Chain A
Amino acid sequence: MIKTDIIIIGAGPTGLFAVFEAGLLKLKCHLIDSLPQPGGQCAEIYPKKPIYDIPSRPEILAGDLVDQLMAQIQPFKPGFTLGETAKEINRKRDGSFVVTTDKGTQHQAQVVAIAGGLGTFEPRKPDLANLTIWENKGVDYIIREPEKYRNKNVLIAGGGDSALDWTIVLAELAQSVTLVHRRNQFRGALDSVQKVQALKDQNKIQLITPAEVITLDGGRHLTNLTLKVDGTSVNQAVDYFIPLFGLTPKLGPIANWGLEIEKNAIKVDNSLDYQTNIPGIYAIGDVNIYPGKLKLILCGFHEATLMCQSAFQRIFPKKKNVLKYTTVSGITGFDGSRKEAQKSTIKTIE
């Protein structure tokens, strides 16, 4: 059981900044995110695109914003459970919460802050009859263990970076790799496009365009599929079909926690502290809703700040707390590191 002061579900910009504000109050945080990397939408959807409305940053790439947030919270040593989805929240007799992930990891804290954004990112599934019956029997939407495909016949569909990148990786391992796309243009990093071109030229992969998979077939496991290539049907023997069409957010498990949901978001008390209908559970950032809500990063930062003050009162009902300026009080990390303003120099002029 991982024990901390605040469990933060979602490691997007809002969840990350909450670690900082909590740290100033000497509260420890642990972040859980289904994605393998922190940064939420900024990291998953648009890391290379600029943002222009972060106060005092005329322009910053979304990926750089995440890196800077990670650097800013570093002194407060947050814990991370990445690549796991928070599935259940249970309340213990002593009032604390236990959050359990899909992989069974358990976390315990007095306060839970849900910073789940638009929800968990799930693979976009192509519209194919019977697709779901082949899931885990030859159809994978996410590659977790490349070794699984060693010496197998794999067919990847898609036209973006992940289709290209996995084609390159699996070309080394698999018996055969076929990349199928509806047209012969790919939207990916130039470097990856060139590598795939080279693999094709060396006959290390098969590239079929314009084509799409139309039916799947097999016994206990997928064995064959049919492609439509330029209007004609072509049968291909495969062990695995991996459609890689990107990820799309769905509210996911958050909807099942007894929280008041409106328009796919969690209702909170914005006049006070962004607490939900369950005392001790807060919702901050894109995941919450209240009159006038704007889904913006700077709003998430503000909400995280107020939430932490309220969480402090909840965890230490008897402790008095006054707002301190970081300029004045500096930052003391949980690792003993210390940052503070330089003292003014006072010298005599004779």
Chain B
Amino acid sequence: MDIKITVIDRSGKVHELEAPTDINMNLMEVCKSYELPVDGTCGGIAMCASCQCYVLSNHPLEKKSPDEEAMLSEAFYVKENSRLGCQIQIDKKLDGLTVELTP
């Protein structure tokens, strides 16, 4: 099953993405597959913060892992609702998720 995700890019443009839940993708990878400007330099090991986003909707996200906490404590433009896209696994529960890419 695919779910819908809304991503607001750095210029404010809104992108409606369809994300598959059955191929073990994370949000960073979904953004890359739609060629949104997310580098994912570290390949998704919570080491670069190039996938950082603000979560705007009220979805039940998994708690941050110690690695994600550590990276966010060294990242810039971090807010309360900051998460690393690569640590958000695409799952049925996330249908309708809305995020904004950080600067």
Which residues of B have CB within 8 Å of A124? 76
Interface set of A (CB-CB < 8 Å, partner B): 45-46, 49, 118, 124, 126-127, 158-160, 181-183, 185, 187, 245-246, 248-249
What sequence of 0s and 1s flags, for each residue 60-100 of chain B, a beta carbon within 8 Å of any chain A beta carbon?
00000011011101101100000000000000000000000
What sequence of 0s and 1s flags, for each residue 34-73 of chain B, a beta carbon within 8 Å of any chain A beta carbon?
0000000110010110100000000000000011011101
Number of interface residues of B (CB under 8 A): 16
Which of chain A's residues has its CB closest to B46's CB? A187
Which residues of B have CB within 8 Å of A126? 76
Interface set of B (CB-CB < 8 Å, partner A): 41-42, 45, 47-48, 50, 66-67, 69-71, 73-74, 76-77, 103
Residue of B41, B70, B71, B103 near A118 (CB, 8 A) is B41
State the main secondary structure of chain A at its contact with B. loop
Which residues of B have CB within 8 Å of A187? 67, 70-71, 74
State the main secondary structure of chain B at its contact with A. loop
Which residues of A have CB within 8 Å of B66? 185
Which residues of B have CB within 8 Å of A160? 70, 74
Residue of B47, B67, B73 near A46 (CB, 8 A) is B47
Which residues of B have CB within 8 Å of A248? 41, 48, 50
Given A45-B47, A46-B47: A249 touches B73 (CB 8 Å cut-off): no
Residues A246 and B74 in contact, CB atoms below 8 Å apart: yes
Residues B74 and A245 in contact, CB atoms below 8 Å apart: yes
Residues B41 and A183 in contact, CB atoms below 8 Å apart: no
